[in-house]
Amino acid sequence: MSALLFKGAGFTYPGAPSPALRDCVLHADAGSITWLTGALGAGTSTALLLAAGLAPRHTGGERTGTVLTLGVDPALPSSGAALGGRVALVLPSPATQLSGIAETVFQEVAFAPANLGWPRARITARVSDALTALAISHLANREPGTLSGGEMQRAVIASMLVLEPDLWLLDEPTSALDTAGRALVHALLRREAVRGAAVVVASEDTDGLHQVADRLVVFADGCPVLDGPPQEVLRGERVWEAGAASTAIAGLARAAGNAAPRPLTVDEGVARWAR
Amino acid sequence: MSPDPGPHVGRFHPFTPLVLTLCVAVLAVAAPGPKTAAALYTTTVVAVFLGGVGRAALRALIPLAPLWFFLFLLHGVLGDGDQVVILGLSLSREGLAAAVTQACRLGAIATASLTLYASFSPARFVDAVADRGWSFSTAYLVVATLLALPRFRARALAIIDAQRSRGLRLRGSPLNRVRAIGPVTFPLLLGALAEVDERGYALETRCASGVVHRTPLDPPLDRVGDRAIRWLAGAGAVAVLLWRVFG
Amino acid sequence: MGTMKPLLMEGVHFAFGNASVLEGVSLEMDAGAGVALLGANGAGKTTLTRLAMALLHPDQGRVITAGEPTAGRSPEDLASAVGYLFQHPEAQLFARTVRAEVGFGPERLGWATDRIGEAVDGVLLELGLSTLADHHPYDLPQPTRRLVAFAAALVARPQLLVLDEPTAGLDRAARARVADVVLARRASGTAVLAVTHDLGFAAAVLDRAIVLAGRCIAQQLPLTELLGDHPDFPAPPLLELARRLGLEGVRPAAAVLAPLLTSHPKTGTLEA
Amino acid sequence: MNARLLALLPAAIAINLVIGGLVNAMGLPLYLDSIGTILATVLAGPAVGMLVGAIGQVLFGLINGYQWIPFGLIQIVIAVLAGVAASQAGFRSTGRSIAWGLLTGLVAGALSSIISYVLFKGVTATGTTAVVTLLRQLGLSLPVAVTASSLALDLADKAVAFLVVGALVRSLPNRMIGRFARAALAVGR
């Protein structure tokens, strides 16, 4: 049974003239990384809020169709008990994800487990593992508000990793990270999938994704229009027609008039165009 | 919330300075005359210095100075009733007594209050509340606000910089300044409201609503001494209050 | 503007209290220049941009912005000559519509109403925001809101643009739009100084790199030379490809590189 | 308490404590320490507004050492009046906002002068007290001087506070008005 299932799911924000998501069919399986991409406004961020149940429970507005998160409809108030602490959500701006009451990064990462009433020994052990996994153990005693954007983003991811969630929902999780940071998070997501979690990433950053994602779903105008293996989708033409984009090198190949399938990486580009 | 709450006061359970501050406030309100008020103020200052947080007592003088000045002016110099000449100034005897009483009351309260603030550690307070199983939401609101203040002040300054860099002049005629209220306050208000959604999502995802019994990360020690101080001070304050009201 | 330099700094020292941030910094920018200000967090990049905008004043040395020393002047005096984009630009938005928001600056500078209207329409067109002119900025997604704040920095057609992480938080389309506008403004004589970690953007639209380290300018050289040769500054994909194809000294942007790769659709060999 | 309120309240309280400083930096002699209370009331109702006002007053006392906790009562009165104003679309126009602001200023001014005189001998925040001293030198008795100065400053302060909140809520984007149904009612939208 899929960790995430949308059947004809639609959603309209309160006061919005048109729906942000329309008649969306989507699934994400445990043990795999599903990457959603699309132009701004294509609906990938809304899909994550729907999966987390925050839309409509927190956003207000109207949902149509069926959404099942880990087998439960997340919009039901009673879903809190079944899903509490099992669904991780990471949003694009780290600063608004902080707990607001932590004086140190250690307390920040320990926020959710403490709220769930875990025994203290378990919290301490899981928190230090999470800090190590994100390579921020050296920041454990720093004040969260004084971290750089990249450090804060890692702290937010660590504060979700600590819960060992069954479903990851990440919206532009590496936007503030450098190349090394991005590679570290991608490797972490792969380990989480191997552990059995379902990982769903919404991001326009398609440059590294074909080495990370098992499946690429391209959204356009509020619903998925392409769904397939990343290598295949990124080399094709339809990803551009959907208003999304492939890698920088594929974009260059397209601008140079190359037909699909196009090179994705610098090495492939050199192989294609070198004398 | 200075980084180091002072060598001694840091050892107390977080609730102890809280209860002591409330007791000082009750005693201050109940203090009948200048002598008792002055005694209370001096005792508070001495206790604070012994507690190793002397600078809080000194820092209290900043808000107190204008208050004391106006008390002396309003009740001493401008007070009516029979006059007495001190240092060439004709002052109202009764007004002066009232001014000293009030000055010492405010002194005791301000000193105790700033000592509480200097020794306040958000994490220990949240743990102390969690340890007791009391309402996490209330502790969250108090601590989240205190920790949000520096961020809001920084954002307010950034807004002024940004608007000035677009040509907004803050000085000039009063009308000009009132017209500048919108461009300066709205971004702070709209920015705060726009963040509410995302902050709410994060708190919901991290199980912050409907917390039943939260695990204290580092529960502060509540020694017998702490409890004794709290009960004695509390009983003493209530006794004085009852005596003052019904005595 | 004749020979007047958009920005000149001579022996600038600056310290917050006793914590010295910049020591003996000198730099010069000509009309149309494009400089990327790089360096670790805390190296003084934002401090340097604030000195250029008279938000801060040097303890020693001189800062000459748009031909006038900043000593004794304040940001509102420079507002017509300099466009400053803050790191969290959307934090300054307050108006009910995009048009009113972007027109706020010129209005404060005392421009005539029709001149304001033209300038606003022009910059909204440049940034592809024309259809959103009457929308409330907070009804737009955050990346678009940042584009509105960028428009507000551009509207008065300043001769110097100081940008703090201009592409942070932008979506792909907005990032491309910002790149096009920066190149166009530079071509028309505007100097651009940008603090950025987005090396793809820097390589595509700026020329020179100034690297701040140890409280002074550690390196000052063409961006294409710096990127890839310095561990902290890896080369973005297009620059890496151009270098490995022997296309040195070419601006690593798709529009520039593509014609050079006119290759046979089937075999894909390089014929240029 | 649900997560949305846990996110909204600290912001509203911080606004109470910060905006005064912001406006003073512009040389305007106003406290505006109730904008957060009024805004929270308009968006989430008087109960929430009272909580914002009360906690804000306690924290103000904690941080500044001034013991204005008794003035917390006035924040509660402001929340009640702002709630009534909101239910009567009192923020629909600049004129109505100012009218409700003046009414609140009248009530708040009267109450604060009683508290100031009885508990604090007429000496409270510097601005107000300077006016009291001036009036006293002109020969007014202390109670009259305290009442006059409290009323004058509170009328202006609350009128501007209601004006700012009204203008802000009227200019809220559709997405936010959709999120705070009460706000739409307050501005008759």
**Pairs of CB atoms within 8 A across A/D:** 20
> Can you spell out the DSSP letters for chain A?
--SEEEEEEEEE-TT-SS-SEEEEEEEE-TTSEEEEE-STTSSHHHHHHHHHTHHHHTT-SEEEEEEEETTB-TTSTTHHHHHTTTEEEE-S-GGGGS-SS-SSHHHHHTHHHHHTT--HHHHHHHHHHHHHHTT-GGGTTS-GGGS-HHHHHHHHHHHHHTT--SEEEEESTTTT--HHHHHHHHHHHHHHHHTT-EEEEE-S--TTGGGT-SEEEEEETTEEEEEE-HHHHHHSSHHHHTT----HHHHHHHHTTPPSS---SHHHHHHHH--
List per-residue pLDDT tens for chain C, 272 residues long.
445 899 999 999 999 999 999 999 999 999 999 999 999 888 999 999 999 999 999 999 999 999 999 999 999 999 999 999 998 887 889 999 999 999 999 999 999 999 999 999 999 999 999 999 999 999 999 999 999 999 999 999 999 999 999 999 898 889 999 999 999 999 999 999 999 999 999 999 999 999 999 999 999 999 988 998 888 888 889 999 998 988 877 888 888 888 888 644 444 444 43
Domain boundaries in chain B? Answer: 1-121+219-247, 134-212
Please tell me the predicted confidence (pLDDT) of residue C49: 96
Please tell me the predicted confidence (pLDDT) of residue C266: 44
Q: Residue D115 sits in a domain of what CATH number?
A: 1.10.1760
Quick check: A89 and B205 CB within 8 A? Answer: yes
* Buried-exposed string A163-200: b where 16+ CB fall within 10 A, e elsewhere: bbbbbbbbbbbbbbbeeebbebbbebbbebbeeebbbb
Q: How far apart are CA C73 and CA A29, in angstroms?
A: 61
Q: What is the ipTM of this complex?
A: 0.92
Please tell me the predicted confidence (pLDDT) of residue C262: 67
Considering only CB atoms, which chain B residues are within 8 Å of C75? 161, 164-165
Above 70 in pLDDT, residue B5? no
Q: Please indicate whether residue A151 or residue C232 has the higher confidence score (pLDDT).
A: A151
**Mean pLDDT computed over D108-121:** 88
CA nearest D175 in C: which residue? Answer: C139
Of A40, A179, A252, the CB nearest to C141: A40
Above 60 in pLDDT, residue A136? yes
Is any Cβ of chain D less than 8 angstroms from the Cβ of A100?
A: yes
Mean predicted lDDT score pLDDT of chain B: 89
- Per the structure, how many domains does chain D have? 1
Considering only CB atoms, which chain D residues are within 8 Å of A58? 3-4
Of A14, A58, A100, the CB nearest to D175: A14
Residues in chain A whose Cβ is within 8 Å of chain B: 49, 52, 54, 58-59, 80, 84-85, 87-89, 91, 93, 96-104, 107, 110-120, 123, 145, 159-160
Identify the burial level of D151 via C-beta atoms within 10 angstroms of its C-beta, where 0-12 means exposed, 13-18 middle and 19 or more buried. Answer: middle
Please tell me the predicted confidence (pLDDT) of residue A275: 67
- For B95-151, what is each residue's pLDDT tens digit? 889 899 999 999 999 999 999 999 899 999 999 999 988 889 999 999 999 999 999
Mean predicted lDDT score pLDDT of chain A: 94
Please tell me the predicted confidence (pLDDT) of residue B8: 60
Considering only CB atoms, which chain A residues are within 8 Å of B197? 58-59
Above 60 in pLDDT, residue B56? yes
Share of chain D above pLDDT 90, in %: 54
Does the global pTM surpass 0.80? yes
- For D130-171, what is each residue's pLDDT tens digit? 888 888 888 888 888 888 888 988 999 999 999 999 999 999
Q: How far apart are CA D150 and CA B33, in angstroms?
A: 27
Q: How confident is the model at residue B93 (pLDDT cuts 50, 70, 90)?
A: confident
Considering only CB atoms, which chain C residues are within 8 Å of B163? 92
